[in-house]
Amino acid sequence: MKPATAILALLLPLTASAQNYQGMSEQDMQNMMQQMQEMQTCMQDIDQSRLEAFEQRATAAEAEVKSLCSSGKRDAAQQKAMAFAREVSSDPDIQKMRKCTENMQNMMPRMPYMDQASEPDDSGSHVCDQ
């Protein structure tokens, strides 16, 4: 299933339950559905096979970092996490996906180690401690 379609499929139950939520008006629901449609239209321009390959690399990077952490190689784990975070931040497909989903930020899956890209090495935060 394509990621955009999967996101949409996950959100549909939210719209159904939102009908019962007292704080959400019919207009709010229509706005949310419009935002989802805009996101899906925007995501159609992204090569889904490249995103799937990127997801596989993310899974592999996460496993490698965890392995390095469990082996006591904290510096190597931190460097690997930082390198992957820089790769994620500079990838044009990821940038496009972020742009497509900026109105629905809470619904985008979190990429591993993204926090590491914005934090300097001396911040005290370490990938092995997360």
Over residues 73-99, the pLDDT tens digits come to 999 999 999 999 998 889 898 888 888
Q: Quote the tokens at residue 124.
A: 């005290």
Instruction: Say if 115 falls within a structural domain.
Output: no
From 20-29, 31-40, 109-118, the region with the lowest mean pLDDT: 109-118
Query: Is 107 in a helix, a strand, or coil?
Result: helix
Phi, psi of 68 (to 5 degrees): -60, -40
In this predicted structure, what is the pLDDT of residue 75?
93
Q: How confident is the model at residue 124 (pLDDT cuts 50, 70, 90)?
A: low
Instruction: Say if 122 falls within a structural domain.
Output: no
Instruction: Say if 117 falls within a structural domain.
Output: no
Which structural domain range is residue 56 located in?
Answer: 3-109
Put simply, whether the predicted model's pTM sits higher than 0.75 gets the answer no
Q: How confident is the model at residue 47 (pLDDT cuts 50, 70, 90)?
A: confident
Asked if the model's pLDDT at residue 120 lies above 50, the reply is no
Q: Quote the tokens at residue 14.
A: 């939210």
Task: Give the angle 53-117-126 at the CA atoms, nearest 5°.
Answer: 105
Total domains in the fold of the chain: 1
Phi, psi of 109 (to 5 degrees): -65, 140
